[in-house]
Chain A
Amino acid sequence: MSKRNTAPLRSPGINTVQINAAREMHAQTVRARRMPVPTGSITASSMTAPAAAAAAAAAAAAATATAMPPRHICNNPNNPPCVSCGSVIIPSPRATLPLEDNPSISINDWTISSKKKPILNSQELDVWETEKLKGLTLPEMIFGNNYIRIENPRLDWSIEFNALDALKNVQLQDSGIRVAYSNDWINSKRKQTTSGPGTAQRFSNDVNADSLNIIHKYDWTYTTRYRGTENSPESRFQRDNDQTLPLDKLAVHDKILFYDDMILFEDELADNGISILNVKIRVMNERLLLLSRFFLRVDDVLVRVHDTRLYVEFDENRVIRESKEYEGKYQDVLAKHRLSQSHDPKAALRDSNWVAQNTPMVRRECETIQF
């Protein structure tokens, strides 16, 4: 263990890390995450990336040899040790220095990867605002370099969840939704602009005659029906609303081999609620489940949840995608929580799980691909 190379100025201090120490730390971080040399049978999954591909065949062989074969391959040596070494593969929780983590795992022909980076910087935002998403005032926080990708090269199919495509789905027209006090606000302004000659003149300079009308039209709630981006121009999904997710299989606590949870974009609606798109994934030995959730709460107005669940059964090469939309009036949902006599009812309305469970479903669709 190297000693901490720090120069505390005052106590309790926050330490500055110097370059050499940072390099050392980086090396240590990588080392700490590398899997320990296995003492028993060697499997492909205990190897690092370059070796892993070559050893894929060996993994297949090993799969037949043992009862509970670790058949997956960790594609990124920076990942924490994989299941065969006894722990879960989760990407680095750190969004910044020193590593850019791009963890990935392969099972059969399926490869799942993810990436987490900080919010877009101002140059990136400029490009998004003026080129990629013209006409949309962007949400405050865009994790535009984040993604979760599921691909199967042999079947020539992939699906990815990212912020850009999700935001392309946001309507460039008035959503009709207004914050709770909008009427009062607009009316009081109308009164002011028409009340007396003095005030009227005072306002006319800065506030255009029609400026109480909203000029810039876009859906400020950032409501999106995004269900992921496929690699093919034509979707390969077949609509089949009778299908359901195999909850029995998903309820089993199979060991999670790969897990990630990330935000794609978020806006605080100028403190009138929240609009957030979150994607998370868990990969088990035989299947995976991805949940993309758009959660909208406009305080004192409405709540809305758009869930898209993507399920892949690896051995059957079968994909199910189920989308559910929940929507309800804020007061109705809040009333359900009041029944519980909590001191802090609004806390529940910050919890998208609770909201989804307590809000009526207004739409459901299901699609499948059987390769």
Chain B
Amino acid sequence: MELDECLERLYKAQLLPEVTVRALCFKLKEMLVKESNVIHIQTPVTVVGDMHGQFHDMLEIFQIGGPVPDTNYLFLGDYVDRGLYSVETIMLLIVLKLRYPSRIHLLRGNHESRQITQSYGFYTECLNKYGGNSRVWQYLTDIFDYLVLCCIIDDEIFCVHGGLSPNVQTIDQIKIIDRFREIPHDGAMADLVWSDPEENNNPTLDHPDSSGQHFQVSPRGAGYTFGRSVVEKFLQMNDMNRIYRAHQLCNEGYQIYFDGLVTTVWSAPNYCYRCGNKASILELYSKDQFYFNVFEEAPENKLLKENSLNSNYMEENTTNPVVNRKLIADYFEDDSASTDGSADPEMYMFSDVYQARSASNRHVDYFL
């Protein structure tokens, strides 16, 4: 199958056959194995944070940020899990990467891992959409091992999924990591995709010195948070200006730490279809000119979610991807119909008909 044909299908949220997925993953592996752990790119580029299987919101991003290859994109990881369309999301990104290798770059997030995806939905989704077998999940998680870890834009902006690590002082230390593996529990590679910045607003009286400035162990008993002085030192040592990362939900779509030295970019609006948060993509025009393009949930999400609840396909329909495909196709048909002014009133979500129907369909539960 031609790449453009794959793209056409994927943009319509249709699943590709298993053999095609396998071939695409193989090709991508060949491409990624040549890349360094740290890639260097130039502005202009648009930085995108966590997507988490929110496929329609990713289409929305290509709408507001511009389609590939007209706009360059850097994705900071966490493409899968939690959302209902992880397979579609990661497949579209994979094919875009194959088709336009220099226009789109994909970093690895902590969810690009075999272990995590078994607990947070991607594994289950692959089983549901590919007739109960896990081979597609295996192909895709194998690809995850090849994704790069960090990106440097214009030699002075450092981009990573999570944050800094005590094992990493210089960029060269990242370059020597053996990244072609499952994300380990500790060490530099784990920290890069897991750690979080912590702003030390109110230092504890017991530790007034510098506890919030350095690396701190999370109360969970594993993982680091990093403070301002760590960031300043890292930037100075590597002659960099600032850090962009993802990994943490923020209601406004982005969150600035340490007066702009670190910024979180979050790109999954109404996260998990229930948080009501905004999302953003960061448009970098040059190293000093940028704009946070903030957006809200794509209207399709709500419709799709209600339908998936009604048909219960996530729970029961474990062997039939067709239903899911059909549902999505319906909405895209509806969408294209509306462009020529003949929208089906039944699908018009603010119509009286729709309201009445959705009211009667709403989920009530005789829980005990």
Chain A 269-297, CB-CB to B under 8 Å as 1, else 0, gives 11111000000101000000101000000
Contact A10 B215 (CB under 8 A): no
Contact A211 B214 (CB under 8 A): yes
Contact B218 A270 (CB under 8 A): yes
Chain B 334-368, CB-CB to A under 8 Å as 1, else 0, gives 01101101010100101110111001101111111
Contact B186 A184 (CB under 8 A): yes
- How far, in angstroms, from A179 to B119 measured CA to CA in the complex? 15
Residues of B within 8 A of A31 (CB): 352
Is there a chain B Cβ closer than 8 Å to A65's Cβ? no
Contact B127 A344 (CB under 8 A): yes
Size class of the B contact interface (CB-based, 8 Å): 35 or more
**Which residues 253-278 in B have Cβ within 8 Å of A in the complex?**
255, 270-271, 274-277
Q: A1-B345, A25-B350, A181-B185 are in contact. Are A11 and B220 (CB under 8 A)?
A: no
Chain A 6-17, CB-CB to B under 8 Å as 1, else 0, gives 101111111100
Residues of A within 8 A of B292 (CB): none
From B116, B335, B345, B367, give the contact of A291 (CB < 8 A).
B367
- How far, in angstroms, from A289 to B365 measured CA to CA in the complex? 11
- How far, in angstroms, from A81 to B111 measured CA to CA in the complex? 43
From B124, B196, B248, B366, give the contact of A253 (CB < 8 A).
B366
Is there a chain B Cβ closer than 8 Å to A178's Cβ? yes
Say how far A311's CB is from chain B's closest CB, in angstroms: 10
Q: A96-B276, A220-B220 are in contact. Are A130 and B202 (CB under 8 A)?
A: yes
Is there a chain A Cβ closer than 8 Å to B101's Cβ? no
Residues of B within 8 A of A239 (CB): none
Identify the closest chain B residue to A88 (Cβ). B364
Residues of A within 8 A of B127 (CB): 343-344
Contact B220 A182 (CB under 8 A): yes
Residues of A within 8 A of B275 (CB): 95, 118-119, 141
Q: A140-B248, A343-B132 are in contact. Are A1 and B123 (CB under 8 A)?
A: no
Interface of B is mostly: loop
Q: A90-B359, A220-B220 are in contact. Are A12 and B335 (CB under 8 A)?
A: yes
**Which residues 50-81 in B have Cβ within 8 Å of A in the complex?**
56, 59-60, 63, 67
Contact A282 B365 (CB under 8 A): yes
Is there a chain B Cβ closer than 8 Å to A206's Cβ? yes
Say how far A165's CB is from chain B's closest CB, in angstroms: 21
From A184, A251, A269, give the contact of B185 (CB < 8 A).
A184
* Stretch in A69-77, A103-111, A185-193 with 4+ CB within 8 Å of B: A185-193
Q: A3-B343, A32-B356, A344-B123 are in contact. Are A280 and B365 (CB under 8 A)?
A: yes
Identify the closest chain A residue to B298 (Cβ). A14
* Stretch in B83-91, B92-100, B204-212, B279-287 with 4+ CB within 8 Å of A: B204-212
Q: A14-B59, A90-B362, A263-B274 are in contact. Are A214 and B116 (CB under 8 A)?
A: no
Q: A1-B351, A29-B355 are in contact. Are A189 and B186 (CB under 8 A)?
A: yes
Residues of B within 8 A of A185 (CB): 185-186, 221-223
Identify the closest chain B residue to A202 (Cβ). B169
Chain A 319-353, CB-CB to B under 8 Å as 1, else 0, gives 00000000000000000000000011011001000
Contact A14 B214 (CB under 8 A): no
Contact B350 A28 (CB under 8 A): yes
Contact B355 A32 (CB under 8 A): yes
Contact A118 B277 (CB under 8 A): yes
From B59, B206, B271, B364, give the contact of A282 (CB < 8 A).
B364
Identify the closest chain B residue to A187 (Cβ). B186
Is there a chain A Cβ closer than 8 Å to B201's Cβ? yes
Is there a chain A Cβ closer than 8 Å to B134's Cβ? yes
Chain A 338-370, CB-CB to B under 8 Å as 1, else 0, gives 000001101100100000000000000000000
- How far, in angstroms, from A11 to B62 measured CA to CA in the complex? 11
Contact B352 A28 (CB under 8 A): yes
Say how far B62's CB is from chain A's closest CB, in angstroms: 9
Is there a chain B Cβ closer than 8 Å to A299's Cβ? yes
Contact A120 B251 (CB under 8 A): yes
Q: A13-B335, A122-B251 are in contact. Are A29 and B350 (CB under 8 A)?
A: yes
Residues of B within 8 A of A19 (CB): none
Contact B216 A119 (CB under 8 A): no
Is there a chain B Cβ closer than 8 Å to A318's Cβ? no
From A11, A205, A213, A216, give the contact of B336 (CB < 8 A).
A11
Identify the closest chain A residue to B364 (Cβ). A259
Contact B222 A256 (CB under 8 A): no
Contact B339 A117 (CB under 8 A): no
Contact A216 B219 (CB under 8 A): yes
Contact B233 A206 (CB under 8 A): yes
Residues of A within 8 A of B166 (CB): 203, 206-207
Q: A14-B300, A96-B296, A299-B119 are in contact. Are A33 and B355 (CB under 8 A)?
A: yes
- How far, in angstroms, from A259 to B360 measured CA to CA in the complex? 13
- The list of the 4 closest CB pairs from A to B, nearest first, reads A118-B276, A182-B221, A178-B221, A32-B355
CB pairs A–B below 8 angstroms (22 shown): A1-B348, A11-B336, A12-B336, A14-B59, A15-B335, A15-B338, A32-B354, A33-B355, A90-B362, A93-B306, A94-B302, A121-B251, A125-B251, A129-B201, A207-B215, A211-B211, A213-B217, A256-B366, A280-B367, A282-B364, A299-B119, A343-B134
Besides A118-B275, A205-B233, 12 new A-B residue pairs in contact (Cβ under 8 A), listed by A number = A4-B338, A6-B338, A90-B364, A95-B274, A118-B277, A119-B275, A121-B251, A121-B252, A179-B220, A259-B365, A282-B366, A350-B119
